[in-house]
Structure formats: C-alpha cells, structure tokens
C-alpha cells in the first residue's frame, strides 16, 4: 500500500520546491508523511468542502494548488477561518500538501494543459523566455474574439468571461497564463507576436496597456483557469498510484458548520 511519503516525494520530483517564487509556501501544511494513504482528495484550495470530502471518503491526504498557510499566519484560533480549517485537518488526521508556483513552472502540468484545453495546435505550444510561466500557442485558424470567448467559457465550464475589446476583432496567436497575469510578462508577450492574452485575472490598467499594444485580452477567472491543472494532476497520479483511491473536489461546497459541531 502506498504511503503519503510516496506521493509527496513524487510531487517534489515533478515540482521542485526551489523553483517556487520567493513569496510562495508549497509543501506540507499539516500532518505527517509516514503513514499509509487511505485516499486522496485533490482541490484547488483547502476549503471546508474539500475537508468534508476527505471525511466523507475516508481520505487522509488533501492535495491543493494554493497553500492554506500563505503570506504569514499569526493564529490557529478557531474563531479565524484559516485557524478553523487547519484545526479541522489536524483533528481529523488529514495531511495537507500544496504545489503552487512550483507546479506553475512545470508547463507540461500547467499552462500547456490549459493551452490544449483552449484549442491549441499541439506543435505550436511553447514557453516564452522572459515569462515566469505561461504558454504561447496558435489556433488552427483566425477566430473572432466573441466566438472564442464562448469557446473559453465552454472549455473551462465557467460562468462567464470578460473582455474590454471589440468582439469582432480576429486573432490566431495566443498567450495563456492560468491564475493571475504577471505584468512582467508583457515585453515577452509583445515580442512573441501574441494577439490575445487569456488569464484568470488581469488588472484593468493592464488590459488597457495591452490594448494600446494591439493585444486583446480575456479574463476567465482564477479558479476556472487553474482547475484544469488539478484535474490533469489527478489523472497523472491515478496512473502512477493505482492502489490509491483519488477524489476531486470542484470547490463549490463551503460548509464551516460541519467543523464546529
């Protein structure tokens, strides 16, 4: 039977912690590695719903993209939401492990997955030098922005997408960066000839700057653009650890009450 250490060691190989951004905090949040895995829940975030799914399925490992302990934490008081979540995992012997910007940096498991989801011609997908992460790709043919926004919405199963640009504009060359768009990527995106940037979050003044450069932009939601990373990782882990049951939490359920009863 696989142990938690087997899975986290494998993730450390795929996504070395030293590749993470300085501000990040990937790795073990709670628990211990040296115990048998009873089940694994994958979720974008360590939410009350994800913890509840661990309890319901008898899983003792929660794998997330975003670290729960992030940017400093000064209390685990249960009157604080993060404190309550951490306490619930500790009480229920749930080990929580996060792979964040170190996962983002491994494009084959992050933005290349997103690019393929959004219709990329496979041989066109590549990284851009000078960007922290992301993927440049080309579509099979030029498409109107309004039409492609519908494609994004359907492909990512999100409630909607946003653009400040005219829906009639056409393009073929795309740069995609799941999560939040890194403004430092702009020079490389411009030099690549990309005609559209797709990301989960783009500041308004950045969308205007891109427009002045002749680059369209679409905001598709942080959650929607990174869920595909987690879904893909689950498939990879299922193939690697066939003796372990895996479950995916979509992040729709939030129920603090069950933890305080």
> How do the pLDDT tens digits run along the chain, 261 residues long?
899 999 999 999 999 999 999 999 999 999 999 999 999 999 999 999 999 999 999 999 999 999 998 877 777 777 678 888 999 999 999 999 999 999 999 999 999 999 999 999 999 999 999 999 999 999 999 999 999 999 999 999 999 999 999 999 999 999 999 999 999 999 999 999 999 999 999 999 999 999 999 999 999 999 999 999 999 999 999 999 999 999 999 877 766 665 544
- Model pTM? 0.93
Hey, which residues does 14 pair with through a beta bridge? Answer: none
pLDDT, residue 115, reads 98
Contacts of 134 (CB under 8 A, 6+ apart): 107, 111, 127, 128, 175, 176, 177, 182, 185
Residues 92 and 163 in one domain: no
Residues 111 and 214 in one domain: yes
Q: How far, in Å, CA of 15 to CA of 8, rounded?
A: 10
Residues 123 and 203 in one domain: yes
pLDDT, residue 205, reads 98
CATH of the domain at 80: 3.40.1390.30
Residues 116 and 212 in one domain: yes
Q: How far, in Å, CA of 107 to CA of 38, rounded?
A: 30
Residues 85 and 111 in one domain: no
Residues 39 and 122 in one domain: no
pLDDT, residue 70, reads 83
Residues 92 and 118 in one domain: no
Please report, for residues 87, 167, 204, 246, the alpha-carbon distance to residue 164 in angstroms, rounded to integers and kept in the order given: 43, 9, 9, 40
Residues 76 and 141 in one domain: no
Residues 139 and 82 in one domain: no
Give the CA angle between residues 38, 41, 43 to the nearest 5°: 165
pLDDT, residue 251, reads 74
Specify the DSSP element, H or E, that contains 197: strand 196-201
Residues 171 and 145 in one domain: yes
Residues 117 and 174 in one domain: yes
Residues 133 and 210 in one domain: yes
Report the number of distinct structural domains present in the chain.
2
What domain range includes position 150?
107-220
């Amino acid at each position: 039977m696989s142990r938690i250490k087997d899975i986290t060691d494998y993730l450390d190989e795929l996504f070395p912690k030293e590749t993470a951004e300085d501000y990040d905090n990937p790795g073990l949040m709670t628990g211990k590695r040296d115990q048998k895995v009873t089940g694994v829940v994958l979720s974008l975030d360590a939410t009350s719903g994800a913890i509840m799914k661990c309890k319901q399925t008898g899983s003792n490992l929660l794998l997330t993209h975003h670290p729960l302990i992030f940017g400093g934490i000064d209390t685990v008081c249960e009157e604080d939401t993060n404190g309550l979540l951490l306490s619930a995992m500790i009480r229920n012997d749930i080990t929580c492990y996060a792979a964040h910007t170190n996962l983002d940096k491994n494009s084959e498991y992050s933005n290349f997955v997103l690019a393929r989801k959004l219709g990329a011609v496979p041989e066109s997908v590549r990284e851009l030098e000078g960007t922290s992460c992301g993927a440049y790709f080309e579509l099979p043919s030029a498409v109107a922005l309004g039409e492609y926004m519908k494609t994004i919405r359907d492909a990512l199963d999100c409630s909607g997408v946003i653009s400040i640009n005219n829906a009639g504009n056409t393009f073929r060359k795309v740069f995609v960066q799941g999560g939040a768009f890194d403004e430092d990527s702009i020079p490389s995106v411009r030099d690549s000839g990309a005609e559209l940037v797709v990301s989960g979050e783009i500041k308004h003044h950045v969308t205007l700057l891109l427009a002045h450069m002749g680059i369209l932009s679409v905001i598709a939601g942080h959650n929607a653009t990174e869920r595909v990373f987690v879904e893909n990782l689950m498939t990879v882990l299922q193939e690697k650890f066939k003796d372990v049951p895996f479950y995916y939490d979509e992040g729709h359920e939030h129920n603090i009450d069950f933890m305080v009863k």
